[in-house]
Amino acid sequence: MLIVEDSDEDYYTTARALRASGVALTLQRCRDGREVIALLETGLDADLVLLDLNLPGVDGRELIRAIREHAVFWALPIVVLSTSNHPSDVNLCYRRGVNSYLVKPVELATFMSMMTRVATYWVHVITLRRAEAV
């Protein structure tokens, strides 16, 4: 799983929540959209992108477009994890092809529970996709 998050505090909280889920995950981090675009060109090794929208440089909204326009990674699942619940952000992200849009809850227990559901669901989906590809 690639976590695209510029805030150290948010990244470590997210990584902690995902590890606490009990689901076996390999986590990789990029701090901004430019790092992700460089990985798209050199070979991204991730089955899922967990994406913050408000990033320095190339923001999450533009990064969604770049991933969806890429010949190899156009179908890579993208889950937005943002503090923004503004309808224009949500609608734009879905129009650009994200798989899910989640608003970061304020309460840690709620966030931990959310990340457990995210990890469990997406590991299941990815496992099924790999089995179908064989």
What global pTM score does this model have? 0.93
Cα of first residue to Cα of last residue in the chain, in angstroms, is: 21
| CATH code (residue 70) | 3.40.50.2300
pLDDT, tens only, 54-99: 999 999 999 999 999 998 999 999 999 999 999 999 999 999 999 9
Which segments of 83-124 are extended strands (E)?
A: 100-103
Query: For residue 92, what are the domain limits?
Result: 2-133
For the chain, how many structural domains are there in total?
Answer: 1
pLDDT, tens only, 110-119: 999 999 999 9
The residue type found at 82 is S
- What is the Cα Rg of the chain in Å? 14
Pairing status of strand 2-4 against strand 78-82: unpaired
Distance of alpha carbon 17 from alpha carbon 119, whole angstroms? 9
